[in-house]
């Protein structure tokens, strides 16, 4: 298609155009024509400036929050509209937001190489072997789960201060020998690439538009969030109300997490079950229900330290706190079983096909689990762990038995 003949088909009125730091020079003739013929052009101030010489229609820069602009776009349905975005609009870009209101059949997208692709090409890294992470508008702690020994990450920064903050986080976790490469203004005339180690990081003039390439080196003492369920108890701040590692690993298996599911963790305590649920996959969601303010704050600190800052915590007593919450795919009840109506309320709240797992240590709570087992079926299991410990003086060891845990698990028809 020639530049003169490039037009947006009548049904494809919304053009989504990726633009890089090279501006108009990096756009195809079709992309240039779509921008020039648009009656409305939307984008960040930087995008609008980069394409300024092409724009003939009305310009609108993104509001805050960005979603407020959707009604304005929808008013133009059927008329030529162009949206400018960084790189690939469907890779941590604006494309996902637009698709919430506009059918893909009404759009045409012309992506530009993403910053991740550009960074990988500068470093000679294969993208399929790299973990991409966006820290733009997100808590820095999101990166923690990905900090595995020998891992390679490409992290999109929030601003010019992100690389220094990431370096400090790495040092604090025993990964100061990791290599950081800061890539700024990729693809443009001001492109700059600099490399250092986390413990020697001293760049003070990083531009806001940057991406960080990270080659992780972990010391023997490094705080690594392992890939298996059942994290070391020492990784959690707690007051004793903690589902211990061995029982926690079994409990996660019983909950059987699947991609994109929502968990309610009732009686959140230190948050260990909800946190490990979230660690299974980035798409997982969890709501922790906790009555105590101190425990809720402690669980939030644990979630941040272990790379799951998106844990949602609801302060309140169950089951009253269930009101208004989104329907869960799975529920774990680790506390509050003294309330005789709690399990019935949880079972009612669970969606069909959902799983409920409850752990009890007292005889009274165990009796409630047995009652539910008789009503709803499922499985009931006695879990007991014994660990070797010293028996007085000398090199004599005996088995030290932890309090047994009764676990009921069931699937709702």
Domains of the chain, residue spans: 14-112, 116-215, 233-411
Convert the pLDDT of each residue in 131-160 to its tens digit: 999 999 899 999 999 999 999 999 999 999
Residue 16 above 60 pLDDT?
yes
Least confident of 152-161, 198-207, 293-302, 392-401: 392-401
CA distance 179 to 171: 11
C-alpha distances out from residue 350 to 105, 194, 263, 353, 412, Å:
36, 51, 10, 8, 7
Using only C-alpha atoms, what is the Rg of the chain? Answer: 26
Could you please report the per-residue DSSP string of 325-375? PPPPSEEEE-S-TTSTTHHHHHHHHSPTT-EEEEEE-SHHHHHHHHHHHHH
Q: What is the mean pLDDT of residues 157-181?
A: 98
pLDDT at position 3: 45
Q: In which residue are the tokens 């690939």 written?
A: 88
Mean pLDDT of the chain, nearest integer: 94
Confidence band (pLDDT; 50, 70, 90) for 4?
very low
What secondary structure letter does DSSP report for 298?
H
- Per DSSP, what are the bridge partners of residue 192? 184
Give dist(CA 27, CA 103) in Å, integer.
Answer: 25
Helix or strand (DSSP H, E) at 72: helix 70-75
Asked whether 155 and 180 are in contact (CB, 8 A), the reply is: no
pLDDT in tens, 177-223: 999 999 999 999 999 999 999 999 999 999 999 999 999 999 999 99
Considering the segment(s) 233-411 as one domain, its CATH architecture is 3-Layer(aba) Sandwich (3.40)
Answer yes or no: are the C-beta atoms of 348 and 210 closer than 8 Å. no
260: left (phi over 0), alpha (psi -120 to 50) or beta: left
Read off the pLDDT of residues 57-88 as tens digits, 9 standing for 90 and up: 999 999 988 889 999 999 999 999 999 999 99
For residue 251, what pLDDT is reported? 98
Asked if 173 contacts 196 with a C-beta cutoff of 8 angstroms, the reply is no
Alpha helices in 111-161 (DSSP H): 115-123
Superfamily of domain 14-112: Tetrapyrrole methylase, N-terminal domain (3.40.1010.10)
Do 157 and 136 meet the contact criterion of CB atoms below 8 Å apart? Answer: yes
Average pLDDT on 327-351 reads: 94
| pLDDT bucket at 15, cuts 50 / 70 / 90 | very high
Domain spanning 116-215: CATH 3.40.50.360:
no
């Amino acid at each position: 298609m020639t530049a003169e003949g490039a037009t947006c088909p009548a049904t494809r009125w919304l053009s989504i155009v990726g633009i890089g730091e090279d501006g108009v020079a990096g756009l195809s003739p079709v992309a240039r024509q779509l921008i020039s013929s648009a009656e409305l052009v939307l984008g960040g101030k930087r995008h609008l400036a980069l394409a300024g010489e092409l724009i003939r229609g009305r310009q609108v820069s993104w509001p805050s929050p960005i979603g407020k602009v959707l009604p304005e776009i929808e008013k133009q349905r059927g008329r030529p509209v162009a949206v400018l975005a960084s790189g690939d609009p469907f890779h941590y870009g604006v494309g996902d937001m637009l698709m919430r209101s506009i059918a893909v059949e009404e759009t045409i997208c012309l992506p530009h190489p993403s910053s991740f692709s550009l960074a990988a090409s500068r470093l000679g890294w294969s993208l399929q072997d790299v973990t991409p992470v966006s820290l733009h508008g997100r808590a820095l702690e999101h990166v923690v789960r990905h900090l595995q020994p020998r891992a390679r990450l490409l992290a999109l920064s929030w601003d010019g201060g992100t690389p220094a903050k990431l370096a400090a986080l790495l040092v604090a976790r025993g990964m100061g020998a990791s290599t950081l490469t800061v890539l700024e203004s990729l693809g443009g005339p001001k492109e700059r690439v600099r490399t250092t180690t986390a413990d020697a990081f001293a760049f003070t003039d990083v531009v806001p538009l940057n991406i960080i390439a990270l080659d992780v080196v972990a010391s023997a003492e490094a705080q690594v969030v392992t890939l298996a369920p059942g994290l070391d108890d020492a990784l959690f701040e707690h007051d004793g109300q903690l589902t211990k590692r061995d029982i926690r690993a079994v409990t996660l298996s019983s909950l059987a997490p699947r991609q994109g599911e929502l968990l309610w963790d009732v009686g959140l305590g230190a948050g260990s079950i909800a946190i490990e649920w979230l660690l299974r996959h980035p798409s997982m969601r969890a709501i922790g229900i906790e009555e105590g303010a101190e425990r809720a704050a402690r669980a939030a600190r644990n979630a941040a330290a272990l790379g799951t800052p998106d844990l949602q915590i609801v302060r309140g007593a169950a089951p009253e706190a269930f009101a208004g919450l989104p329907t869960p795919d799975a529920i774990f009840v680790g506390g509050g079983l003294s309330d005789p109506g709690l399990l019935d309320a949880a079972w009612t709240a669970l969606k069909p096909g959902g799983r409920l797992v409850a752990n009890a240590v007292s005889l009274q709570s165990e009796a409630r689990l047995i009652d539910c087992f008789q009503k709803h079926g499922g499985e009931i299991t006695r879990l007991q762990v014994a660990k070797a410990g010293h028996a007085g003086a000398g090199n004599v060891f005996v088995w030290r038995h932890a309090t047994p845990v009764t676990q009921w698990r069931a699937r709702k028809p």
